[in-house]
């Protein structure tokens, strides 16, 4: 299930570019809450706390209890605008999570049983095609991770979308094909090629010496 965390914010009475710049000078980030058939609410948040959440790695898959001047709402981040030069968060959009709200999220893939993967034990390489899978699911039931079992896969084999064990109530956004998630590639021949080059060089030196 998705993580739940808390954030605090302050209502933002003034909107517009000028007001947003003034808020940023105060060390805060403008944001908005929308959705669930309610009017949007403009807010501002402490930069340091928000930056920590944004860079934690699971920001868009986390349900937040957002406290705006004492009034709490369940929300999930939908978009972050960054400064193009300094890569600082400049504005955040939060979606209210109501009962039965369905959203689209990117869920990370975790590979298990690598030690039971024949292809890897033979020196093959795990080539990850998709690190995240886009799912449609209830906002109250977002899975933290999707697992791919590598047991029994040999060199040249692949793991596909059909190999996923999707949690109840979730579905793939891409549902028109059985897309590839990872492959077991053959081991690199770099060492073999290097050995062959060395042998050719030694042979050339021997011939040159004899001459």
From CA 63, how far away is CA 3, in angstroms rounded?
6
pLDDT tens per residue across span 74-92: 999 999 999 888 888 999 9
Q: Where are the domains of the chain?
A: 4-98, 103-191
Position of tokens 């993580």? 3
From CA 178, how far away is CA 141, in angstroms rounded?
24
139 class by beta-carbon count within 10 Å (0-12 exposed, 13-18 middle, 19+ buried): buried
* Percentage, residues of the chain above pLDDT 90: 64
From CA 14, how far away is CA 185, in angstroms rounded?
56
Helix (H, G, I), strand (E, B) or coil at 179: coil
pLDDT the model gives residue 198 = 53
Characterise 52 by phi-psi region: left (phi > 0), alpha (psi -120 to 50), beta (else): alpha
* Adjacent-strand bridge partners of 127: 183
If one compares 2 and 21, the residue with the highest pLDDT of the two is 21
pTM reported for the whole predicted model: 0.73
Average pLDDT over residues 37-62: 91
Mean pLDDT (the chain) is 87
User: Residues with Cβ < 8 Å from 37, sequence gap 6 or more?
Assistant: 98
Position of tokens 């890569």? 87
How is domain 103-191 classified at the CATH fold level? Answer: RNA Polymerase Alpha Subunit; Chain A, domain 2 (2.170.120)
pLDDT the model gives residue 73 = 92
Q: Does domain 4-98 have CATH number 2.30.110.10?
A: no
Q: 87: which DSSP letter?
A: -
Candidates 37, 34, 8, 13; CA nearest to 23 is 13
Question: Per-residue pLDDT for 192 more than 90?
Answer: no
* Adjacent-strand bridge partners of 82: 89
């Amino acid at each position: 299930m998705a993580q739940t965390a808390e954030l605090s914010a302050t209502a933002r009475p003034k909107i517009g570019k000028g007001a947003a710049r003034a808020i940023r000078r105060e060390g805060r980030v403008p944001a908005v809450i929308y959705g669930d058939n309610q009017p949007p609410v403009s807010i501002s948040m402490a930069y340091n706390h928000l930056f920590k959440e944004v860079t934690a790695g699971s920001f868009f898959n986390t349900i937040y209890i957002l406290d705006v001047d004492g009034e709490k709402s369940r929300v999930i981040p939908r978009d972050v605008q960054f400064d193009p030069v300094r890569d600082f968060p400049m504005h955040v959009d939060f979606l209210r999570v109501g009962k039965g709200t369905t959203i689209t999220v990117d869920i990370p893939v975790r590979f298990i049983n690598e030690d039971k993967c024949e292809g890897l034990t033979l020196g093959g390489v795990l080539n990850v095609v998709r690190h995240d899978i886009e799912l449609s699911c209830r906002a109250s039931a977002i899975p933290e991770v999707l697992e791919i079992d590598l047991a029994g896969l040999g060199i040249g084999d692949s793991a596909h979308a059909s190999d996923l064990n999707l949690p109840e109530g979730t579905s793939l956004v891409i549902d028109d094909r059985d897309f590839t998630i990872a492959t077991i590639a053959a081991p690199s021949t770099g060492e073999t090629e290097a050995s062959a080059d060395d042998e050719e060089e030694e042979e050339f030196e021997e011939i040159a010496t004899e001459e």
